[in-house]
Amino acid sequence: MKKTILLAFFVLSIALHAHSQACTPAGDEVSYGTGDVWTGYVYDNLNLTNYKGYVTEGTSGNPNFDENFGGDNVTYNTNGCSLNTSTFSVRYKLRKTFTNGIYEFIVGGDDGYRLSLDGGATWVINQWVDQSYAISYYSTTLNGTYDIVLEYYENGGGNRISFTLQSGCGSSGNPAVYGTGNTWIGYVYDGTSMNFYRGFVTEGSGISPNFDQSFGGTNTNYNTSDCSVQTETFSVRYRLQKNFSAGTYIITVGGDDGYRLSLDGGATWVINRWFDQSYNVSSTTQVLNGTYNMVLEFYENSGGNRISTDITNSTLAVKLGSVQLQLENDKPRIEWTTLQESSSSGFSIEKSDNGNDFREIGFLPTKAVGGESNQALNYQFTDKSGSKYRCFYRIAMVDQKGSKTYSKVLVFEPRQKASITIFPTMITNNRFKLRSNLAAEQLNLQVVDFSGRKYYETNISTTGNSQTQDISIPGIRLKPGMYRVIIQKDNKPILQQTVVAE
């Protein structure tokens, strides 16, 4: 019996020793990869300690890579020991020689990441925080050999690190130069914050500066004078130096996502909607006289993309006073006053569901005798069809020759929001409930984080009568934090609810 126990102990010792020998970490944690192949030193800790072994990324002639480590909370093998992909870190090293030129670095990570070009002494990109997958950009001139260090850590949930190196593009065009003669010059950038200049485009014409651009569609290539951009995350700065004769002008800008307009070269913004949104329009009325350096900026952060502008001289047959929107038995009522009318015919009341495509819903003839008046005249029109959702109105002032000028755009927000509720706001196990009074409505439901990353999307049908529906997000685990539940009908948001995942 004693011999049997000793034999078993001996066999176990050999097995443990063999396992220990098989799990000895290879690599010295110091050497740099070469030939565009990174050496990545992997650690079973968030702070680059407890070394487990090394891996390689990139291929000969191409250092770019996108690694998700086989998935969330799984075993990841190295040249040495394996580890679990829940909490770990990697230090990638690459020694690379650059010919003289401009280079662009794009790094993305979930969670923290940082990039150094001097062996880790300084960081040109530093996002060393817990986060959903996010992208950072850096552009610089390089010439010679550099010790590149890319560090990454994962702290639960999704994991991913990506690296892209590309030659700088967009060498033609000077982004400080303004277009003239009603033709805008648009300087196009890769990234939502004017990150990497890719080249220029033009909009408008010698006849009119107005334009409406959708960039060829969603998530496609948009060509510039030099390079193309993918229409998912990009930005444009349009410039136009324009001379205005003395008068009052209505300038309308629309965009999906962010947009803003300046008349003084970007020092101040007369229109500023610099945030993610579905297509939305804004108007400003300006008294102008002389030459103005107009700057129109736009960014797109995935999904639909569009930017439009319209400049109208309102110093024509009718001089408007106030224009406002009221409610009459929950129906929109437009009220306006004219201070002066000359050769006036009447007023076309126009409505739009998206703020850009207007249709006439009514016409009121002028109260001015013979179309001439120097006294204040009051008008009103009620849209008896109403709207359950956000919509837009404007007044077209028509003269006796049929020419039109337009008022500012009025935005109607329903007094009572769509009868739909998400609860509880603190959700567990990816589950929450939806209650709606909308009967037999087809709706789109999305769950996104505050950077715009989409985690879940589905189409639902409401049943009305305040019945409750259970919503469950399959296939993923939401990391603790804040999210938005967005409900849309016909691509128009009717509810945006902030929820917190435990």
Q: What is the pLDDT of residue 21?
A: 46
Mean pLDDT, residues 379-383 taken together:
95
Of 360, 383, 412, which residue is a domain's last? 412
**Listed ranges 325-339, 399-413, 450-464; the one with the highest mean pLDDT:** 325-339
Looking at the fold, whether 394 and 446 belong to one and the same domain comes out as no
Whether 306 and 331 map to the same domain: the answer is no
Residue 291 predicted with pLDDT over 90: yes
Region 120-146: what's the mean pLDDT? 92
Give the pTM: 0.49
Is 30 exposed, middle or buried, given 0-12, 13-18 or 19+ CB atoms closer than 10 A?
exposed
Q: What is the pLDDT of residue 471?
A: 87
- Average pLDDT, integer, range 167-179: 83
As a three-state string, the secondary structure of 229-293 is: EECCEEEEEEEEEEEEEEEEEEEEEEEECCEEEECECCCCCCEEECCCCCCEEEEEEEEEEEEEE
pLDDT value of position 151: 98
For residue 124, tell me if it sits in a domain.
Answer: yes
Asked, for residue 9, whether it belongs to a domain, the answer is no
Confidence of residue 51 (pLDDT cuts 50, 70, 90): very high
Work out the angle at residue 182's Cα, subtended by the Cα atoms of residues 181 and 186, and round it to the nearest 5 degrees.
Answer: 110
pLDDT of residue 313: 75
User: Is residue 136 assigned to a domain?
Assistant: yes
* Domain contains 2: no
CATH of the domain at 160: 2.60.120.1560
Q: Classify residue 177: in a domain, yes or no.
A: no
- Does 462 score more than 90 pLDDT? no
Q: How far apart are CA 249 and CA 197, in angstroms?
A: 32
- In angstroms, the CA 384 to CA 391 distance is 14
| Average pLDDT over the chain, rounded to an integer | 87
Here the CATH number for the domain that contains residue 190 is 2.60.120.260
52 closest CA partner among 18, 29, 19: 29
pLDDT at 329: 80
- 47-61, 66-80, 405-419, 471-485: which range is least confident on average? 405-419
- Same structural domain, 492 and 367: no
Asked if residue 428 and residue 363 are part of one domain, the reply reads no
The predicted pLDDT at position 252 comes to 92
Residues 69 and 99 in one domain: yes
Domain endpoint, select from 412, 429, 455: 412
State mean pLDDT over 263-283.
94
Q: Are residues 160 and 193 in the same domain?
A: no
Distance (Å, whole) CA 290 – CA 53: 68
| pLDDT grade for 469, boundaries at 50, 70 and 90 | confident
Domain annotation covers residue 11 = no
Q: Are residues 24 and 135 in the same domain?
A: yes
- Above 70 in pLDDT, residue 93? yes
Q: State how many domains the chain has.
A: 4
Over 70: is that where the pLDDT of 10 sits? no
Among 251, 278, 385, 288, CA closest to 330: 385
Shared domain check, 146 and 23: yes
With 0-12 CB in 10 A as exposed, 13-18 as middle and 19+ as buried, what is 497? middle
- Give the residue numbers spanning the domain of 29: 16-167
| pLDDT bracket for residue 11 (50, 70, 90) | very low
Question: pLDDT (tens digit, 9 = 90+) per residue, 212-269?
Answer: 999 999 888 899 998 888 898 899 999 999 999 877 888 999 999 999 999 999 999 9
Last residue within a domain, chosen from 278, 293, 313: 313
Note the pLDDT of residue 20: 41
| Same domain (yes/no): 190, 151 | no
Question: Pairing state of beta strands 420-428 and 492-501?
Answer: parallel
Q: CA-CA-CA-CA torsion for 484, 485, 489, 494, nearest 10 degrees? A: -70
Residue 363 and residue 293 share a domain: no
pLDDT for 170 equals 66
* CATH number of the domain within which 371 lies: 2.60.40.10
Question: Predicted confidence band at 16 (pLDDT cuts at 50, 70, 90)?
Answer: very low
